[in-house]
A and B are shown apart, each in its own frame.
Chain A
């Protein structure tokens, strides 16, 4: 190698990294990534298999049509299933309209001032508040001050507060994803602000808002702590017939069974978990289905 070949000519000599070692490092990270993925999947599978083995034998018609009982053979989840259903209906009726309207206001109408920024920061913070705090708030405000008692309605109001930030954030993102050209087209035709929102922004943002609402519902169905705090019962041998009736929900029923001594109740708990998981899978599937369907329409 001659001196006068310049820097580039000598360069081959200064590259000494071993190809073998570099290839090894690449493989190493592929394996590491794969292991990380497997860890989650395997943990989930083990959990599922364990629950199914324990609980599937107890999943019969009687399990769905019976109230809780001291005798494992006669115990069922009827009250919890209906309690969850009632609570979720009221929760969504409260949270979705308020959440969507808040999102529309913040995205379409509110100016960019300190007040809106203050609200935005607060919504983001609320999404991170531990659910038990919502339970304490619900206990004081809904159960005691507003005298709703330990009722379905008090539980729904608490849950609505809990999922409101999720719905607002998801709806705002959906609204923000509406192309500005769509708004311009509408305004240029002489449509007012509300007509533009009503006919173009909302339909376009609907799939995103629906997905957010369903995922929020899935979150609420699995929540236990706030409902225990406001005093949802663990032993309910009746169906709530009125929004102010006392009630229980699936996670509380499961929690109750797990904490009993007899091993039969642990099998019942496993059966309850299967029901809860199926409900959650159905909800998530509906969210995915709706998103796909409405996307293709628009």
Chain B
């Protein structure tokens, strides 16, 4: 059972709350700044509200270039919102307000002169449930390229994207078949191929394996390791084993009574999992809550 600390009632104060309260009370030094020269994405003091509801509170984090960074934390900790804050997907819902900034290769994506459409071309995204368009595999790959004014050879782009997503050998016999005719794992790889066909600089993945079986999950994880040679990848996951297996760096987020969506700890994955500096991180990764 997942338990979100900030919604539990006073009557049944859980051990989880007790653990967090204790941790907050002891005021551990939570040094979340890791030395990270030349990051691909830099989030500075970023807060986000849906109407009056604050979902992310003053997060600062530097995502290292061509590495995989996992963002972990219990439900409602703001990790998906933070991810969607990077390519401004949150704005598709009305009433969103932000503070602070997100630098993509040094440019603030929230600057007035920046069009979110251009940001989303440069920051690819893969969603929780595979969502290929109900069209041919070829058209799935080419849609993004076409609307963004791709001029070169289309066949080459389709092949290159499918090869990068480790899907070419499975589908090259019939690129006209519907993307929906593929299995769940293949659909998710098609979505990855579609995302990288517009040459993004960063790839965001919002729990990309939560709808997949273990075999398909491992394939996606292998693919991520392969893609990390060329792309900066940020993955939100519920699955701590997955974060430990696949990522180079891990960020741990949490909501508590004082603020929602705070970054608690960020560091190299091995350090964070073997020697967490914050008690709440330790409580979460050892399965004491979440």
Alpha-carbon separation in the docked complex, A195 to B118 (Å): 14
Alpha-carbon separation in the docked complex, A195 to B144 (Å): 10
In the complex, how many angstroms separate the beta carbon of B161 from the nearest chain A beta carbon? 12
**Mask for A159-195, Cβ within 8 A of B = 1, else 0?**
0000000000000000000010111111111111001
Alpha-carbon separation in the docked complex, A126 to B194 (Å): 44
Contacts of A183 on B, CB cut-off 8 Å?
Answer: 92
Q: Does B51 sit within 8 A of A, measured CB to CB? A: no
Residue of A nearest to B118 (CB): A190
- Residue B194 contacts which of A111, A187, A189, A199 (CB distance < 8 angstroms)? A189
Contact A191 B131 (CB under 8 A): no
Contact B144 A189 (CB under 8 A): yes
Contact A185 B133 (CB under 8 A): yes
Contact A184 B144 (CB under 8 A): no
Contacts of A204 on B, CB cut-off 8 Å?
Answer: 134
Q: Does B120 sit within 8 A of A, measured CB to CB? A: yes
Alpha-carbon separation in the docked complex, A190 to B94 (Å): 19
Contact B127 A195 (CB under 8 A): no
Contact B120 A184 (CB under 8 A): no
Main secondary structure of the interface of A (DSSP, over half): helix
- Residue B129 contacts which of A181, A190, A192, A199 (CB distance < 8 angstroms)? A181
Contacts of B147 on A, CB cut-off 8 Å?
Answer: 189-192, 195, 199
For chain B residues 133-149, which have a beta carbon within 8 Å of chain A? Answer: 133-134, 143-144, 147-148
Residue of B nearest to A199 (CB): B143
Residue of B nearest to A180 (CB): B92
Q: Does A112 sit within 8 A of B, measured CB to CB? A: yes
Q: Does A61 sit within 8 A of B, measured CB to CB? A: no
Q: Does A291 sit within 8 A of B, measured CB to CB? A: no
Contact B195 A189 (CB under 8 A): yes
Q: Given A182-B131, A184-B127, A195-B147, A189–B92 Cβ distance below 8 Å?
A: no
In the complex, how many angstroms separate the beta carbon of B192 from the nearest chain A beta carbon? 12
**Mask for A227-268, Cβ within 8 A of B = 1, else 0?**
000000000000000000000000000000000000000000
Contact B117 A298 (CB under 8 A): no
Q: Given A181-B131, A183-B92, A298-B134, A188–B195 Cβ distance below 8 Å?
A: yes
The size bracket of the interface on B is 20 to 34
Contact A187 B143 (CB under 8 A): no
Residue of B nearest to A179 (CB): B131
**Mask for B68-90, Cβ within 8 A of A = 1, else 0?**
00000000000000000001010
Most chain B CB within a 10 A radius of its CB, from A182, A186, A188, A199: A188
In the complex, how many angstroms separate the beta carbon of B249 from the nearest chain A beta carbon? 23
Contact A188 B125 (CB under 8 A): yes
Alpha-carbon separation in the docked complex, A184 to B87 (Å): 12
Contact A187 B134 (CB under 8 A): no
For chain B residues 113-170, which have a beta carbon within 8 Å of chain A? Answer: 117-118, 120-122, 124-125, 127, 129, 131-134, 143-144, 147-148
Contacts of B131 on A, CB cut-off 8 Å?
Answer: 179, 181-182, 184-185
Contact B89 A185 (CB under 8 A): no
Q: Does B198 sit within 8 A of A, measured CB to CB? A: yes
Most chain B CB within a 10 A radius of its CB, from A182, A187, A200, A298: A187
- Residue B143 contacts which of A111, A189, A298 (CB distance < 8 angstroms)? A189
Residue of B nearest to A195 (CB): B147
In the complex, how many angstroms separate the beta carbon of A107 from the nearest chain B beta carbon? 14
Contact B121 A184 (CB under 8 A): no
Contacts of A188 on B, CB cut-off 8 Å?
Answer: 87, 89, 120, 124-125, 127, 195
- Residue B148 contacts which of A179, A187, A190 (CB distance < 8 angstroms)? A190
Most chain A CB within a 10 A radius of its CB, from B89, B122, B147: B147
For chain A residues 179-220, which have a beta carbon within 8 Å of chain B? Answer: 179, 181-192, 195, 199-200, 204
Residue of B nearest to A198 (CB): B147
Contact A189 B127 (CB under 8 A): no
Contact B127 A187 (CB under 8 A): no
Residue of B nearest to A189 (CB): B144
Q: Does B220 sit within 8 A of A, measured CB to CB? A: no
Q: Given A184-B127, A195-B147, A199-B143, A189–B198 Cβ distance below 8 Å?
A: yes
Residues of chain B whose beta carbon lies under 8 Å from any beta carbon of chain A: 87, 89, 92, 94, 117-118, 120-122, 124-125, 127, 129, 131-134, 143-144, 147-148, 191, 194-195, 198
Can you sample 19 A-B contacts with CB below 8 Å? Answer: A184-B125, A185-B133, A185-B194, A187-B120, A188-B124, A188-B127, A188-B195, A189-B143, A189-B144, A189-B147, A189-B148, A189-B195, A190-B118, A190-B121, A190-B144, A191-B147, A199-B143, A200-B133, A298-B134
17 A-B pairs besides A188-B125, A189-B147, A190-B120 with CB distance below 8 A are: A111-B94, A184-B127, A184-B131, A185-B133, A185-B194, A186-B143, A188-B120, A189-B194, A190-B117, A190-B118, A190-B121, A190-B144, A190-B147, A192-B117, A192-B147, A204-B134, A298-B134
Top 4 closest pairs, chain A to chain B, by CB: A190-B121, A189-B144, A188-B125, A181-B131
